[in-house]
């Protein structure tokens, strides 16, 4: 992998991770369009740690507040006594569905789900769902109004992001809007909910990447991660400000256009559904399927 590829993929990761347009889809499509080899989902998960760092720094005050309230609640034997402690529990509980489903459907995620046809249909279907939810949502509730039911339901929405093209931020944002949250509150909670899942995914894939016989250079990993971090910080600030004044319609249109274009390129044989996907095999299991990103963006 050249430094140019690392920079481009890092930029794509950072800009699309937090927008409801699927970073996994773009990281799968970009190499195809440029004629590059697919870097593999493990590489995608590693540079995703750059965007995780962006969330940690951008929301550092919220995170410190939630963690402090969580442990104080346990110490006082009142784990749900404050809003911050409840939100911390909501994030933990909301992470369970994607973890359980990720393990249950690991083989599918690593193989068939990587097809560009799956990505195209996911882009379109979730765009339609987001459009319907956006139109019907009340947009009146805030994070302070969230209940256990909300935390669990948004966690289930997040599990849908295991299907490439659906977008983790897109599914959680849709889930939050469907429960009546304001757009900026739904986005804010989506960012907080992303931290455990994406961090664990990156660490899990790092282990397999280190064991692989063929992997990107350390320089490419570092450059891609740093670029993803910088562009991710900008994307977070932009999206939160955008959703205070605008609807999600622009993302709906973008997803549909991209999905239809992708289907057209596949039908014209310009792109191949699974071409370029590389195996990241370990020395002990050279014929194993590629290690894929279990938590999609």
Helix (H, G, I), strand (E, B) or coil at 242: helix
- 161: Cα separation from own chain's centroid: 7
Q: Once rounded to an integer, what is the mean pLDDT over residues 35-39?
A: 79
> Does the pLDDT at position 291 exceed 90?
no
Question: From residue 175, how far is each of 31, 127, 171, 192 by CA, in Å?
Answer: 30, 13, 6, 14
Percent of the chain with pLDDT over 70: 88
Helix (H, G, I), strand (E, B) or coil at 245: helix
Burial class of residue 60, CB neighbours in 10 A (0-12, 13-18, 19+): exposed
CB 140 within 8 A of CB 180: yes
pLDDT of residue 3: 87
> Does the pLDDT at position 126 exceed 90?
yes
DSSP H helices in 246-282: 249-267
pLDDT of residue 288: 40
Measured distance CA(3)–CA(240) in Å, rounded: 31
Q: Once rounded to an integer, what is the mean pLDDT over residues 155-184?
A: 93
Measured distance CA(94)–CA(229) in Å, rounded: 24
pLDDT grade, residue 34 (50/70/90)? confident
Q: Once rounded to an integer, what is the mean pLDDT over residues 175-197?
A: 93
Helix (H, G, I), strand (E, B) or coil at 272: coil
Q: Which residue would you say has higher pLDDT here, 42 or 269?
A: 269
**DSSP state letter for 285:** B
Report the candidate in 120, 101, 99, 43 with the shortest Cα–Cα distance to residue 292.
43
pLDDT tens figures, 210-234:
766 666 778 888 999 999 999 999 9
Angle at 172 between CA 81 and CA 87, to 5 degrees: 10
Q: What secondary structure does DSSP assign to 103-170, as a single string?
A: HHTHHHHHTGGGSHHHHHHHHHHHHHHHHHHHHH----B-GGG--HHHHHHHHHHHHGGGSTTS-HHH
Instruction: Please report the sign of the dihedral spanned by the C-alpha atoms of residue 60, residue 232, residue 6, residue 201.
Output: positive
> Does the pLDDT at position 253 exceed 80?
yes
CB 6 within 8 A of CB 223: yes
pLDDT of residue 278: 46
> Does the pLDDT at position 268 exceed 70?
yes
- 51: Cα separation from own chain's centroid: 10
Phi and psi of 196, rounded to 5°?
-65, -45
> Does the pLDDT at position 47 exceed 80?
yes
Q: Which residues of 103-134 are buried (b: 16+ CB within 10 A; e: fewer)?
A: eeeeeebbeebbbbebbbbbbbbbbebbbebb
pLDDT of residue 213: 63
> Does the pLDDT at position 54 exceed 50?
yes
Measured distance CA(48)–CA(23) in Å, rounded: 9
Per-residue tokens: 36: 């590059």
pTM: 0.84
Q: What is the mean pLDDT of the chain?
A: 85
């Amino acid at each position: 992998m050249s430094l140019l590829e690392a920079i481009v993929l890092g930029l794509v990761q950072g800009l699309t991770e937090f927008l409801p347009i699927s970073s996994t889809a773009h990281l799968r499509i970009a190499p195809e369009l440029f004629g590059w080899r697919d870097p593999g989902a493990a590489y995608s998960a590693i540079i995703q740690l750059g965007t995780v760092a962006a969330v940690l720094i951008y929301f550092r005050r919220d995170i410190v507040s939630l963690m402090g309230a969580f442990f104080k609640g346990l110490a006082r034997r009142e784990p749900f006594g404050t809003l911050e402690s409840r939100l911390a529990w909501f994030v933990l509980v909301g992470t369970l569905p994607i973890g359980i489903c990720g393990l249950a459907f690991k083989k599918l995620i690593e193989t068939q789900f990587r097809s560009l046809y799956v990505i195209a249909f996911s882009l379109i279907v979730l765009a339609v769902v987001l459009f319907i939810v956006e139109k019907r949502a009340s947009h009146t509730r805030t994070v302070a109004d969230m209940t256990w039911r909300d935390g669990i339901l948004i966690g289930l929405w997040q599990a849908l992001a295991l299907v490439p093209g659906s977008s983790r931020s897109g599914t959680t944002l849709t889930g939050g809007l469907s429960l009546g949250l304001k757009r900026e509150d739904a986005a804010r909670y989506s960012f907080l909910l992303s931290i455990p899942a994406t961090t664990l995914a990156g660490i899990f894939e790092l282990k397999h990447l280190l064991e692989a016989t063929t992997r990107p250079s350390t320089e490419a990993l570092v450059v891609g991660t740093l670029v993803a971090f910088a562009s991710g910080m900008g994307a977070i600030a932009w999206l939160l400000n955008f959703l205070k004044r605008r609807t999600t319609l622009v993302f709906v249109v973008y997803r549909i256009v991209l999905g239809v274009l992708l289907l057209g390129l596949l039908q014209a044989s310009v792109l191949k559904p699974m071409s370029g996907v590389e195996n990241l095999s370990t020395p002990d299991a050279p014929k194993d399927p590629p290690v894929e990103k279990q938590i999609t963006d």
